[in-house]
Amino acid sequence: MTRVGIIGASGYAGIELVRLLAFHPHVEIASLVSRTHAGKPMSALAPDLDGIVDTPLQALPSDDADVVFLAVPHGAARALLTEHPQLERSIIVDLSSDHRTDAAFVYGLPELNRDRIRTARRIANPGCFATALSLSLLPLLHSGIIPPAIYASGITGSTGAGASLTPTVHFSWRFANVEPYSIMSHRHAEEVRSALSLEPPLHFVPQRGPFTRGIVTTAFVPTALPEERLAQLYREYYAAHPLVRYASDPPDLKRVVGTARAVVHCAVRQQTAVIICALDNMLKGAAAQAVQNMNLTLGLDETAGLPLRSIGW
């Protein structure tokens, strides 16, 4: 059994990792780290894990894990690796943004870099919006279709902001409310351009939505292709990728929330390709993708430990 450690196990992404890895057939949880909750059992933070994962949280990382997940805030992962050089002996999967443009790390989007991930020991997990936008664009770029510019919007649940309290995650503010933010300046737009070596600009406007989990993005790209041909490109590209599904109709969030899968749909209107992607920001956009990356680098089936189902209704 592969021994895994999670640093930042008390955050939303960290708790999701624990939930996934507790039932993974090929790993065991070696250590759970949280400086703010050290000494408490994991089940005190996630009561659904009572009797399943009662492992005490510890303040400092140990050195006995084969794989270490860094589920820490942006800006903390790089410092953590400097402070604890013993972690260099482990495979590292970083869920923060710290290493996504670091040449020492492989960008962990399996649908783009599967072969490189298989031999990697340092993996930078993509951002949630970046995952959705990249999956929306990959089949086009793979076919040599480079648009002059890309326009996109997206809406995300409150868990995307993390577990720390801020004014925009309070129920009284979030409920029945939508707010655009980081207009044309969200870091995930540049992350996508870097990961995909994308030359044209990506004009992206994200929005905060009145729900807890999930992302829906919509990208607009000029095209002369008929809708049937565009759909064929996407079906063919994603036929080899088990955690992305091309759908013949626009996906809704309940189709993907609670699953490790992204769903993509295309339409063509007025010589414009409209590409919609839906995924769970905590799973395919974070923890499940991190487990998928771990599976690949360990030589396992990439879907191992990810038999999740949607909430349906």
- 84, with CB counted inside 10 A (0-12, 13-18, 19+), is middle
H-state helical runs in the chain? 12-21, 42-45, 77-83, 110-118, 128-142, 171-174, 187-195, 227-238, 287-297
DSSP assignment of 10-24, as one string?
TSHHHHHHHHHHTT-
**Amino acid letter at 295?**
N
**185: Cβ–Cβ under 8 A, 6 or more apart, which residues?**
none
Distance in angstroms (rounded) separating the CA atoms of residues 205 and 214? 16
Number of other residues whose CB lies within 10 A of the CB of residue 162: 14
269 forms beta bridges with: 272
| Nearest to 259, CA basis, from 313, 301, 309, 295 | 309
Please identify which of the residues 30, 128, 276, 291 carries the catalytic annotation: 128
Q: Establish whether 277 is a catalytic residue.
A: no
DSSP 41: B
User: Are 259 and 16 within 8 A, CB to CB?
Assistant: no
271 φ/ψ sector (left φ>0, alpha ψ -120 to 50, else beta): left
- What is the radius of gyration, based on Cα positions, of the chain? 19
Residue position matching structure tokens 């794989």 = 67
- In order of 54, 145, 208, 226, 228, the CA distances from 97 in angstroms are 29, 28, 20, 37, 37
List, by residue number, the catalytic residues.
Answer: 128
